[in-house]
Amino acid sequence: MNVAIVRFLGTNCEWDMHHAYTMLGARACFVWFADSALPKGTDLVILPGGFSYGDYLRCGAIARFAPIMSAVAEFAKKGGRVLGICNGFQILLESGLLQGALMRNHSGRFVSKMSTLRVQSNDNAFLQGLPKGACLRIPIAHADGCYYTPNYESLREHDQILLCYDDNPNGSMHDIAGICNEAKNVFGLMPHPERAMESLLGSTDGVALLRNLLC
**Rounded-to-integer distance, Cα 38 and Cα 7, Å:** 12
Question: In angstroms, how far is the first alpha carbon of the chain from the final one?
Answer: 9
Is 13 noted as a catalytic residue in this protein? no
Please tell me which residue in 13, 59, 86, 180 is annotated as part of the active site.
Answer: 86
- Backbone angle region of 77, left / alpha / beta, with phi > 0 → left and psi within -120 to 50 → alpha: alpha
Question: Does residue 128 contact residue 215 with C-beta atoms inside 8 Å?
Answer: yes
Please tell me which residue in 14, 142, 146, 192 is annotated as part of the active site.
Answer: 192
Is 192 noted as a catalytic residue in this protein? yes
Is 158 noted as a catalytic residue in this protein? no
Please tell me which residue in 13, 14, 142, 194 is annotated as part of the active site.
Answer: 194
Q: How far is CA 210 from CA 86, 89, 100, 156, 166, in A?
A: 15, 15, 23, 23, 21
Q: Which residues are catalytic, by number?
A: 86, 192, 194
